[in-house]
Structure 1
C-alpha cells in the first residue's frame, strides 16, 4: 500500500507523468540499452523495440499500477502483476535487474519532466516503482520454486524430435530435453520461451504457446512473422531448424490456463491465437471431459487455418462439444460454417460459461464485449495476448 503522503503526490502528478509516459519510456530504453547493450541483444525483443510496442506496454503497465494504487489502495492489481511475472519468469529475470531498470527509468523521468520532479515527487514515484518491483520479485520467486528452478535457470537444451508444417505460415515443433531429464509439467494454455542464436550473434528469445500435450515431448507452434520488421526468431525457426537440431527452451509458464471443473467452457480464437486454444482442447479430449464446450475460431480462410482438422477431430471426441468456424474469405472446396468475422452473439452461450480468448487485439475486444452482453461474468473472461500486452483494462 502506498503511503498517504506519496498517494497524494502521485495522485497530483499522475496526469503529468501519464501524459509524458510515452516519451519517458522511449528515453528509458535508450538509456538502458546505451548502458547495457547486451540486454537488447540477448533479452529484449528487438522487433518490438523497433516498432514501439514494448514501450507502449511498459507505459501502460506503469500507469495502470500507479492508477490502481491511488484509486483502489486496498486492492492490489494481481491479474496484471501475475501476467508480467509469468513473462519475466519465462525469460529468467532476476532481482538484481530491477535496480538497473529503476536507475534508468528515473533518469528518464527527471529528464523529460525537468524541474517538476522535485525530491518529494521522485521519492513518491520511487515508492510506486518498488511496490511494483518487489511484488513482481516475490511472484517470480514463487514461480521459479514451483517450476523447480529456484535459481531462475529456466532454460533447458532440447532436441527437436519432430517438425510438422501446419500451413504455409505455421510450423509445429516437438522437443525433448537433451539430457533425458523429466519433462517439466505444463498446464493447458501455457507457453515456453525459445532462445536462438541469430547470424549476428544475438541470442533472441520469443514465447510460443504449447499447442498440444503429446507424450514425452513439448509441442509448440510458430507462425512466420512477415512485414517490416520481419520476425527474426520465427524466420530462423522456419528456415533453419530441423529434426535432430538442438533448441534452448524454457520450462512452461503462463497464467491463462484452463480451469478444472464442470463449468461450461468457451474457447475462442482468431488466426494464430488457435495455438493455446487447441492445446486446451486437446487436454479436454485426452481427459475425457464431459462439460459443455464451445470451440470458436475465425481465420482468413481454410488454407491459413492451422489445426483445422485437429479442431474437428478433437470436438468429435468430446460428448458435449461443438465447433463454430468463421472464414473471411472461404474457399469453395471447403465452405466455412459462417462467412465474415466471428460473431459470438449468434451462439447459445450457457449460464456459468468460462471463456478463454486468444487472437489479435480487435478480436479480443469485440469477443469480450459480446460475451459481457451475453451475460458472461467479467471475471470469467480470460485472454492471452501474443507480444506486449497493450490491453491493460482494469476489468480485463
Structure 2
C-alpha cells in the first residue's frame, strides 16, 4: 500500500523548498540598489517559471533516467542519460493514476520535490550578476545551463540507482555539490563574462533594504528544513537528525560570522547575520544526515568564519560577484563537502583513520566545479557576443528596473494634476 504519511511529508517538504526561491528573491532584492530590486527579484521568479516547465518536459527524464523499473534509457548511464518514457512525465502520470501503489510515496511526489531543487539552484546564480544583466539574456542562459549542467549533475548526485557519485561513495545528502558548488561555479563564470559593475570597489555598493535581507534569510531558513529533512524522503530518525543540524549549524554560523565582522570592521550587522545564516545552511546541506549535532555546530561556526573572509576575495582577485554567490555558496559548499571527509560518522578520518572519504569528497567537488564553470562560461560568453548579456552603461547607472521592466520598486507618490481649491 501507499504510505500516505510519507507522501504527505514529501509533498509538504517540496512546498517548503519552493518557498525558498521567493525568499531568495527578497534576500537578493534587499542587497541590491533600490533601482534594481525588481530586476533582481524577477530573475528568481523567472527561474521558477522556466525551470518548472523544463523539469516537467524533460528535466526529470534526464536527472532520473534508469530510476526504477520499466525505463527506456538512452545515453551514457551514470554521466548523461535520458529516459524516454519520462518525457512529459508520461510514466509518472500512468503510475499516479494507478489505484494501488506499493511504495513509500508516488513517483510524482518525488518529481515535485526534485523540481524545487532545480529551480533554487538556477536562481542562486543570478546574485553574481546583479545590477547589470538583461532579463531576456538571463532566461536564455538559465534554460541552456539547467539543461546541459544541472540536469546531468543532479543525476550524478541524487540518482541513487545509477548516479556517478553514488557509485563512487560520495556523501552529499541534500546537494552541496549539485546545488551550491554548481551554482557558485556558474556564478563565478558569469561574473567574469559580464565584468565589473560601474564604480566597483569595496563599500561602493550598499544594500538598499536590510529588512528585506533579513526577511529573505528567514524564509530561506524556514524552507531549508524541507530542503534537508525532506531529502530523506520519509518522516524518520534521519530526517529528524537533518532537521536538528539545519537548526544548529546556521545558528552557529551566525555567531562565527558576526564575531569576525566585529573584529574586522567594529560592528556586527544585520546583513552579516543573514549572510552567516545562509553560509551555515549551505555548509550543512551535504552533511546534515552524516554528522552528530556537535560536529554540525562546529561546521556551522567555521563556515561562518571562512565565508565572512571569503566574500572579500573578489576585491583582491578582481572579479565582481555582486551578492557573494562565490564567497557563500561556492566556498561554503566546498567547505561542507570536504568537512565530511574528516567528520562524517563512520567513514570520516577521525572515525576510520582513512583519507578515503576525503578523497571522494574532494574529487566530487572538483568535478562539479570544473564542469559547471566551463560550460557556464561558454554559454554566457556566447550570449554576450551575440545578443548581449549586459545592459547599457547608462541603464546600469540609472538603475535597470525602468529600462528592463518598465517598473519602479518604490513609488512614494504620484504626480497629479490638482487644481487649487479656493477657500471662502
Range class of TM-score, shorter chain: under 0.3
TM-score (norm 2): 0.19
Higher helix content, 1 or 2: 2
